[in-house]
Amino acid sequence: MRYTFETLEKIRDEYKERIEIRRKRTLEPGKKYILTCGGTSCLSIGGEKPTYQLFKEIVEKEGLEDKVEVINVGCMRMCSEGPLVAMYPGGVLYTKVKDEETAKQIIDAALSENPYVDGHHYKDPITGEVIYHMWDIPFFKYQESVVLERVGLIDPTSIEEYIGAGGYFGLARALQMSPDDVIQEVYDSGLRGRGGAGFPTGLKWKFARQAQGEPKYVIANGDEGDPGAYMNRAEMEGAPFALIEGLTIAGYAIGASKGYIYTRAEYPLAAHLLEHAIKVAKEKGLLGENILGTGFSFDIEVFKGAGAFVCGEETALIASIEGKAGRPRPRPPFPAQKGLFGKPTIINNVETLINVALIMERGSQWFKQLGTDRSPGTKVFALAGSLSVSGLAEVSLGTPIKVLLEDIGRGAPEGHTLKAVQLGGPSGGCVPTEHFDAPIDYESLGSLGAIMGSGGVIALDETSCMVDVAKFFIEFTKNESCGQCTPCRDGLVEMYDILERITQGKGTMEDLEKLEKMAVTVKNTSLCGLGQTAPGPVLSTLRYFKDEYIAHIEEKKCPAKACLPLIEYYIVPEACKGCTICAKNCPVNAISGEPGKVHVIDPEACVKCGTCMAVCPFDAVVKIDAFGKE
């Protein structure tokens, strides 16, 4: 059945209650809704069967369908504690749900007066308190729910649930306005692109609307290249209709009839769910010919990338859809003038377009209440690295960095101390602890030598070597360079070689000077954003952590004990109990010793795999400096 404006409202009213129950934070009698996380992280750390199947099978076997409904949802954000399950009304959150027995316990508990299950709730790493209800947990309490409002709440395959949660009313409103008014509304909201550069979305659309050429195209950039971030993945998997709605609005606004969603090859589940959503939206008349009977027609296709970071750059992305190698081309002309097949094209990040749908639903004034004057709205970040709790965190722009790391992420795990945070991936930089008070917005982060980027946040503790981190990123960008222009192609190789020498203790102070010069040249003379931003990790670590570089060079020491050529594994005789566990696990038999006696590592034979340190139950294995030891 094809929907009209009236049916849209009818469906919303019909499904509203089912959704509202999942927002109730206090326990109530009656039917229970059990939400299982079907996000990729939870699936990867789960048991044999996906969590949804575990619950579904029990409910069916025991004939509990009237009392319990199981709904599979997208990422519920706190991935590190997964697989997650939530029970509504009440929002009781169960963690680490991996087997049938736990699922059974949860169902029994949910149906009783006391819906809690020992050992499967969040325990705060700082206070030690066990917290049962999701929204009392600091990880959630300090977050906003705007872009992620429906992610982890609704069944991503159900268009009715999406409509019940307010979805498609942004498109409905847009279609009742003129395209110019839609663009004005987006412009007035102050929304800036979430793909990294922060360009005003409304302005980009104005250019494309005014540009000559038919047909016009709109593209959602879901390439998510930053290797350490997955907000776009979770957004596409958790509420695919939201992206489709936003892209359709973009198409209407600039006068396009065709849209693409470009996703990474590494995200098969996202592509699958998007394809499904496109099919359903077409059946319902919310996509395809004559949308909602307004005469506007628009089609969307999912285009899968084939593994090339540079294809996240807009002109390379276009080349890739055209079937070519993904090499960027100089701008201008900008894609808004000459894009896909030479036609006016707009490219927006996935999260930008989801924001568009919300802005059209709720108005630009609503949006401007969030965030700061120059950076309105929220941003979703992917927290990872050395944090006690990690996953997705959505906060208003302008929120201090430390809220993300300390209030939400609960700081480094016990026994570790944070020393920096890496923001923005290979194009970004490292910000040291003394700047954790800085607000997260485009300008502040830029002035600290980092960037907002697409939202990757990696917390680094004392075990991370900043030279190694810089080397890691340069290795990445060097491998991903399209090789088209010299500064990027050759400059990054040269920078990598210098960093490699330094991490092996073979660098000189001249190397360091050369590195810095090279970084500036690559930054200033590369053709595209990849080369222009690739030196960021080097420049920011040189700015804040030069002492670590110097220690590698002058003392041949890695202060973090992370650079393998500069360290050795060593068994502290006083601590070793002679339990033989390390010797049994060493892959190269480099450890000798008799049961009950002190064990010794042969540094010549040791390949520094770290296994002995990981398995020793008495923490007797330590890393020591290889040079200058007694």
Partner 1 sequence: MPDKLTYEEIVKKHIERKGRTTEVILPVLEEIQETYGYLPREAMEYLADVLKVSPAVIYSTATFYHFFSLEPKGEVIIRVCRGTACHVMGSGIIMNELIDELGLQGEGTTPDGKFTLESVGCIGCCSTGPNMVVIKDGKEEIFGYLTPQKAREVVKKIKEQIQSQGVGV
Out of 149, 161, 223, 361, name the contact with ligand FMN by CB under 6 A.
Answer: 223
Cα–Cα distance measured from residue 240 to residue 220, given in angstroms and rounded to the nearest whole number: 12
Check whether the bond before 29 is cis (ω within 30° of 0): no
Q: Which of residues 41-60 bind ligand FES (CB under 6 A)?
A: 41-42
Least distance between ligand SF4 and beta carbon 530 (Å)? 4
520 CB neighbour count, 10 Å cutoff: 13
How many residues bind ligand SF4 (CB under 6 A)? The answer is 40
Cα–Cα distance measured from residue 72 to residue 391, given in angstroms and rounded to the nearest whole number: 18
Out of 8, 35, 37, 79, name the contact with partner 1 by CB under 8 A.
Answer: 79
SS (H, E, C) 353-408: HHHHHHHHHHCHHHHHCCECCCCECEEEEEEEECCCCCEEEEEECCCEHHHHHHHH
Q: Taking a C-beta distance cutoff of 8 angstroms, is the pair 486, 461 a contact?
A: no
Q: Which of residues 385-424 bind ligand FES (CB under 6 A)?
A: 391
Cα–Cα distance measured from residue 339 to residue 319, given in angstroms and rounded to the nearest whole number: 9
**CA-wise closest residue to 313 among 483, 528, 481:** 528
The H or E element spanning position 467 is: helix 466-480
Q: Which of residues 318-377 bind partner 1 (CB under 8 A)?
A: 320-327
Q: Is 228 in the site for ligand FES (CB under 6 A)?
A: yes
Out of 194, 552, 561, 623, name the contact with ligand FMN by CB under 6 A.
Answer: 194
Q: Is 227 in the site for ligand FES (CB under 6 A)?
A: yes
Cα–Cα distance measured from residue 543 to residue 126, given in angstroms and rounded to the nearest whole number: 32
Q: Is 249 in the site for ligand SF4 (CB under 6 A)?
A: no
Q: Taking a C-beta distance cutoff of 8 angstroms, is the pair 326, 319 a contact?
A: yes
Q: In what order do the strands lie in the sheet with 345-349?
A: 299-304, 256-263, 216-222, 345-349
Q: Is 310 in the site for ligand FMN (CB under 6 A)?
A: yes
x/- site string to ligand SF4, residues 557 to 576, per CB under 6 A?
------------x-x----x
Q: Is 320 in the site for ligand FMN (CB under 6 A)?
A: no
Out of 528, 560, 564, 566, name the contact with ligand FMN by CB under 6 A.
Answer: 528
Closer residue to ligand FES, CB minimum distance, 39 or 432 = 39
**CA-wise closest residue to 103 among 152, 49, 155, 23:** 49
Q: Which residue is nearest to ligand SF4 (CB)?
A: 531
Cα–Cα distance measured from residue 539 to residue 547, given in angstroms and rounded to the nearest whole number: 14
Q: Is 395 in the site for ligand SF4 (CB under 6 A)?
A: no
**CA-wise closest residue to 225 among 101, 139, 350:** 350
Q: Which of residues 70-109 bind ligand FES (CB under 6 A)?
A: 75-79, 82, 84
Cβ contacts of 48 within 8 Å, gap of 6 or more: none
What does 79 bind: ligand FES, ligand SF4, ligand FMN, none (CB cut-off 5 to 8 Å by kind)?
Answer: ligand FES
Stretch that binds ligand FMN, among 414-422, 459-467, 512-520, 528-536 (CB under 6 A): 528-536
Residues lying near partner 1 in the complex (CB under 8 A): 40-41, 43-45, 79-80, 82, 224-230, 233-234, 265-268, 303-309, 320-327, 382-386, 390-391, 422, 425, 456, 458, 460, 464, 469, 472-473, 476, 482, 585, 587, 607, 609-611, 614-615
Residues lying near ligand SF4 in the complex (CB under 6 A): 310, 328, 481-485, 488-489, 526-528, 530-531, 569, 571, 576-582, 586, 588, 590-591, 599, 601, 606-612, 616, 618, 620-621
